Chains A and B, each alone.
Chain A
Amino acid sequence: MPESGASAHRAGGHNFNELIQAVARERSQTAFAVLFEHFAPRLKSYLMRLGCDAGQAEELVQEVMLLVWNRAETFDPVRAGAATWIFTIARNRRIDVIRRERRPEIDFSDPALEPEPVETAERTVETERESARLLAAIAGLPDEQAQLLRLAYFDDKPHSAISVEQGIPLGTVKSRIRLALDRLRKLLREEDA
């Protein structure tokens, strides 16, 4: 449980995967409040980068956190860690609300889904630890790469528009983003091994 902090990997002593599971199992408002304190201010930043004003961002933060509460039972820490799961909820919600589009997603329970090869299905990833390591690696990226990587995720624009806005040639935008991704993915794959 979160209060024990025994298996925590973060400053602050919280294991966010376990907190979401506590929300799912026990409808724990205490666990939920800890998740809120950590993620809500970051979600607000994310949404403001995407063009929301402060009021709209807070309204959306509430909606996203409400979805975290309502869908906690569907959280699968083997598939994705807490931050990743919350990121995907926020991404889908902002596409819905800001862009007024549906978000087509695969359905992991769909019988028509091509199954994972056995070795992938048996792979267990420590998503909580993985996410802490990714965070450290992002902090270590050169500024020029980190900045473009953020734009690629948070700007709702294709690379060509990022290139024009930043006054950086398209090829350079692409190669910097690729360098950053390669570095982070290498770390993810080492973790899997």
Chain B
Amino acid sequence: MTIPVHHPGEEILLDYAGGSLREPFALVIATHLAFCPCCRTKVAELEAIGGALLEAEEPASLSKECLPALLKRLGTGSAACSSPRKPSPSVFAKLPTEVIRIPEPLRSYLGKPLEQLCWCSAVGGIEQVDIQVGGPPIRTRLLRMKPGGSMPRHYHPAIELNLVLLGGFRDERGSYRRGDLVIDEPTLTHHPIADDGEGCLCLNLAEAPIRFTGLVARLTEALRGA
């Protein structure tokens, strides 16, 4: 497997490590980290700095009963509910190879194999599935293009993130492979074409302005400049 070459910027990694990044963005970053040992090292450094900042905090005084009350709760297991969700090994063994290629944390957010998701057609031969994470104004989707498929030339009114999960695509700026994080700045106009072999599956995150909510409007928007 190849290591990604298009990475998130330092600022967004800091927001992820510090915790201020909102959930849909954090999902994209965490999934990129699963593909990218180099960004994992950067996040580990930023978290180490977070740990040192915590230690450098001026200690606040705690009420006297805080520790005794806590000691009584030890071993009650009442924190178990907040442990991270993970598929059990038996569930995992049944997953098709294709699904294993979708790493955590995204795999848990999808909840089922790719082919069991409710794909629907969008403009330009693209298929899409919405993922329930966060809420408006951010829309989080899986987008896929067939091998060699292309999307009509279109214009981005707002910033958009694409994380390539399988296959790859190219546009006027370059080519992108599995694990690459592609940031489409507002006003970008481009014409993406999926790779011939596997096509392209992306995790897409977009601010969804009102004119994108209706199909007709989306179609008009997508075809502008084509």
CB <8 Å contact, B53 and A154: yes
CB <8 Å contact, A83 and B37: no
With contacts defined as CB atoms under 8 Å apart, how many contacts are there between chain A and chain B in the complex?
217
Decide: A41 near B50, CB < 8 A? Known: A80-B44, A114-B35. Answer: no
For chain A residues 143-193, which have a beta carbon within 8 Å of chain B?
Answer: 149-150, 152-159, 174, 177-178, 181, 184-185, 188
Chain A residues with CB below 8 A from B182, complex form: none
A1 interfacial by beta-carbon distance below 8 Å: no
A178, B106: Cα distance in complex, Å: 30
Stretch at the interface among B72-80, B154-162, B169-177, B185-193: B72-80
Can you name the residue of chain A whose Cβ is closest to the Cβ of B48? A84
CB <8 Å contact, B70 and A36: yes
Chain B residues with CB below 8 A from A69, complex form: 74-75, 79
CB <8 Å contact, A155 and B20: yes
CB <8 Å contact, A42 and B179: no
CB <8 Å contact, B77 and A106: no
Classify the secondary structure of B's interface with A.
Answer: helix
CB <8 Å contact, B60 and A48: yes
CB <8 Å contact, A96 and B31: no
Q: What is the number of residues of chain B that contact chain A, defined by CB distance less than 8 Å?
A: 72
CB <8 Å contact, A83 and B55: yes
Can you name the residue of chain B whose Cβ is closest to the Cβ of A10? B55
Min CB distance, A61 to chain B, in Å? 7
Can you name the residue of chain B whose Cβ is closest to the Cβ of A40? B62
Min CB distance, A117 to chain B, in Å? 6
CB <8 Å contact, B60 and A81: no
**Residue in A58, A102, A114 whose Cβ sees the most chain B Cβ within 10 Å:** A114
A sample of 7 more A-B contacts (CB under 8 A), given A104-B31, A107-B103, is A42-B57, A44-B62, A70-B77, A87-B50, A102-B133, A134-B52, A158-B15
Query: Which residues on A are within 8 Å of B, measured CB to CB?
Result: 27, 29, 32-33, 36-37, 39-46, 48, 54, 57-58, 61-63, 65-67, 69-71, 79-88, 90-96, 101-107, 110-117, 120, 127, 130-131, 134-135, 137-139, 149-150, 152-159, 174, 177-178, 181, 184-185, 188
Q: Can you offer 15 A-B residue contacts whose CB atoms are under 8 A?
A: A40-B62, A42-B54, A46-B57, A61-B62, A62-B66, A63-B79, A79-B44, A83-B55, A84-B48, A87-B51, A88-B50, A107-B86, A112-B102, A113-B34, A139-B56
